[in-house]
Structure 1
């Protein structure tokens, strides 16, 4: 007879312990250990099981001519196929994460509806919304097809039985709400998430089912549950953006079937999320007149070069400690560049309030933004607009030297395609911040 033993598992990191702790020794989270029971069978029973085990799939050599079948299938949307590699993969498991309300369920419902209209048998399984709620959203998005099915369940066993009925494409929303009857822990715990994901992956691989899983994110922006979850799936996607803006960025952070640095720009409209076919100038404001404090830069998002506007406002301060406010870039990075400007250009910003933001609500971390940010600050300080059509990119070090950045050739080709001139980028004629200051504000 099986012996029942107990363990304590951390709900945050998934670490297991034989004794209870108030604070998890691994991740440091308080009151996160949960008691679980499991059965440990005798070794003789386990050895008998191994002796009776039959291998379900034969062992094959790659040198032999194995039967080949088409692994990829197209979504018929060029931008999505390029974004994922060559399209979706039969038997591939995709994990989509993002903040609440960002549009994960909307985009996947649109994708399921589009594939259903192309003749693929698709199903949308929800563990968060009732069938009436999902149907209402589908009607709002104009999604209707006889090949699209809906199902509501919180039970892994029910979902497994439904998916075995021969579907081509399936969405499970979300993996943190599904529970397995084999475990006593609550939904969303590391053990439940691991068990549910493992069973769904096994089914998808054996039945050539293309499966999308929706994952919740923590306050840190990472997918909730054990980190093992991201290792188990084939592709990890993040949907990012500000809910106050109309655009979303779909980013690939892991992809076994294609590039892992691609991004897809989506725009929120009344009929759902639509792909922006040419995002190069999507984040720019329409207008002919240029103002002081505005600088244009070409930033690299995956393999896409986007034109983005950097805005700066330098104003007299009446505070003992002048304000330094930034939106879209790191605050410490702004302070560092202001210190370099004061040191190398020899201007006094100690009695000035400095406000900097990225147009369109973007969050940019790449170092190529440095030169444009300094140009915008100097333009506002002198209250002089920059040359019309000018564009800036380059990293600035603590000595005020302009360094080359990743994707320089891509940015140069995009700048010439869009007709931007003059181009301020690392070159023999532009080696330092002082060089740019002499050219623009001498």
Structure 2
């Protein structure tokens, strides 16, 4: 009898070891290394087909590769197509993750019911019963007569049914409950998730069907399961949004066929997710009362500018250790900007509680928000309101200099389109020709920026 081989793999980062250990030396996490039993290797390597689904390999020169345009087809939603890079690519694998209740199943059910009117589509549900899926479709008033539905968790059965139906779009909800017969570990384990995703990916590459996998997330918001799962797929998308907000953002974290960090905005209503064509109008729903600590900035999300209001509150601290709270922005960057403001702006906030918030629940990851955040803090500290028609963007360096940001002209045009008349921007982003209806103040340093709002 052949001896069963096993390896030890980290659940968080996918690193493997020859024996068990309490802490993963790659990611530093404790108690994440688990045992994975390995199957016997096949002797005939000629029939091996990897994640890409290729059979016999052939060596070719790079310039001999055909560069035909990818044959995409639309999902039926412009915001979804934007995040995908222009639509679905046949044979691609898309991983969609998000917190429970974010709208993953709703978005995919809406998409498949619409596409099933013109092409074959198969929805595989492993967590919900067919009755629950049908009730959701009925509640959302979706067309239900064309979509094929399969309730299964066995990957071999799913692939067999897919080979019979030959769908152009296949959704598996979710990958954490799928399992293969040849693996003894429980569904959701490292080996089951990895091998199930690999088997489904091979089917998608060989058949040309678009495969969409639904993935769970951990308590810190990252995709659950081994990291190798994110390497197998072609596109990774996260649905973000709090339960108390009706808006959902669809953000791309990896895309082999389009721009990374692209953003799509949806509104959750009684009939499901509805795309928002002008997100800036949502995040600019400001109150009529002019208050201090509020300012509008222009951030760049994927391939388009987005106007977002940022609010700050600076108040005397009642404790010896002042609080620093950032919602929608990076905490460490806030601390760094406070140090720059003290060093080069002459404003000491060491004894003040500082709270900053990006309105609308949007998460800002780029550095163009630095200048707007600094001016909002100064406005709140001095209790002096800034003009409502003022827009600001720019990166702040540790020496107090204002650095340029990409796509400055497109940001200014977006601000002018929404009625803003003043702008404070980096000097290097000053346009060669004036922007209609916009008075531009170009600054080189933090002192010049503070003088511009006096």
User: Given the alignment of the two structures, is residue 431 of structure 1 paired with residue 444 of structure 2, yes or no?
Assistant: yes
Match of 1:230 in 2: 230
Tell me how far 1:58 sits from its aligned partner: 9.4
The verdict on how the C-alpha distance between 1:435 and 1:215 changes in structure 2, with shifts beyond 3 A counting, is same
Tell me how far 1:84 sits from its aligned partner: 2.1
Please say which of residues 300-309 and 256-265 is displaced more in the overlay. 256-265
1-structure distance, mates of 2:48, 2:127 = 41
Tell me how far 1:83 sits from its aligned partner: 3.3
Tell me how far 1:334 sits from its aligned partner: 2.1
Match of 1:162 in 2: 161
Is contact 2:36–2:190 with CA below 8 Å preserved after alignment?
no
Match of 1:205 in 2: 205
2-structure distance, mates of 1:120, 1:296 = 44
- Equivalent residues in 2 for 1:367-406 (5 A)? 367-406=367-406
1-structure distance, mates of 2:109, 2:316 = 51
Is contact 1:370–1:393 with CA below 8 Å preserved after alignment?
yes
- Equivalent residues in 2 for 1:255-404 (5 A)? 255-404=255-404
Query: Normalized against structure 1, the TM-score is what?
Result: 0.88
Measured against aligned partners, the alpha-carbon deviations of 1:8-33 in whole angstroms (never above 9, x if no partner) come to: 33251444444444445555532632
Match of 1:7 in 2: 6
1-structure distance, mates of 2:134, 2:335 = 50
Match of 1:140 in 2: 139
Measured against aligned partners, the alpha-carbon deviations of 1:27-74 in whole angstroms (never above 9, x if no partner) come to: 553263225253357xxxx26x75999x967969799999x9983222
1-structure distance, mates of 2:324, 2:23 = 38
- Aligned residue for 1:72, secondary structure, equals coil
The verdict on how the C-alpha distance between 1:180 and 1:437 changes in structure 2, with shifts beyond 3 A counting, is same
The verdict on how the C-alpha distance between 1:366 and 1:31 changes in structure 2, with shifts beyond 3 A counting, is closer
2-structure distance, mates of 1:52, 1:237 = 30
Instruction: Please list every run of 5 or more consecutive structure 1 residues that lacks an aligned counterpart in the other structure.
Output: none
The verdict on how the C-alpha distance between 1:311 and 1:202 changes in structure 2, with shifts beyond 3 A counting, is same
Measured against aligned partners, the alpha-carbon deviations of 1:58-106 in whole angstroms (never above 9, x if no partner) come to: 969799999x998322234334334323321222211112222221111
2-structure distance, mates of 1:14, 1:333 = 30
1-structure distance, mates of 2:293, 2:10 = 48
2-structure distance, mates of 1:65, 1:431 = 48
Tell me how far 1:426 sits from its aligned partner: 0.5
Measured against aligned partners, the alpha-carbon deviations of 1:311-360 in whole angstroms (never above 9, x if no partner) come to: 12222334333333322222332222223223333234344332221111
1-structure distance, mates of 2:70, 2:20 = 51
Match of 1:105 in 2: 105
Tell me how far 1:390 sits from its aligned partner: 0.4
- Equivalent residues in 2 for 1:15-34 (5 A)? 15-24=15-24, 26-27=26-27, 28-30=29-31, 32-34=33-35
Tell me how far 1:382 sits from its aligned partner: 2.1
1-structure distance, mates of 2:78, 2:32 = 48
Tell me how far 1:439 sits from its aligned partner: 2.4
Query: Normalized against structure 2, the TM-score is what?
Result: 0.86
The verdict on how the C-alpha distance between 1:90 and 1:37 changes in structure 2, with shifts beyond 3 A counting, is closer
Cα RMSD over matched residues? 2.9
Match of 1:216 in 2: 216
Is contact 2:14–2:228 with CA below 8 Å preserved after alignment?
no
Number of residue pairs the alignment of both structures matches: 432
The verdict on how the C-alpha distance between 1:370 and 1:75 changes in structure 2, with shifts beyond 3 A counting, is same
Tell me how far 1:156 sits from its aligned partner: 1.0
Tell me how far 1:309 sits from its aligned partner: 0.9
The verdict on how the C-alpha distance between 1:272 and 1:31 changes in structure 2, with shifts beyond 3 A counting, is closer
Is contact 2:90–2:209 with CA below 8 Å preserved after alignment?
yes
Tell me how far 1:224 sits from its aligned partner: 2.1
- Aligned residue for 1:229, secondary structure, equals helix
- Aligned residue for 1:89, secondary structure, equals coil
Is contact 1:328–1:363 with CA below 8 Å preserved after alignment?
yes
1-structure distance, mates of 2:296, 2:65 = 55
Match of 2:91 in 1: 91
- Aligned residue for 2:295, secondary structure, equals strand
1-structure distance, mates of 2:424, 2:47 = 71
The verdict on how the C-alpha distance between 1:158 and 1:432 changes in structure 2, with shifts beyond 3 A counting, is same
- Aligned residue for 2:411, secondary structure, equals helix
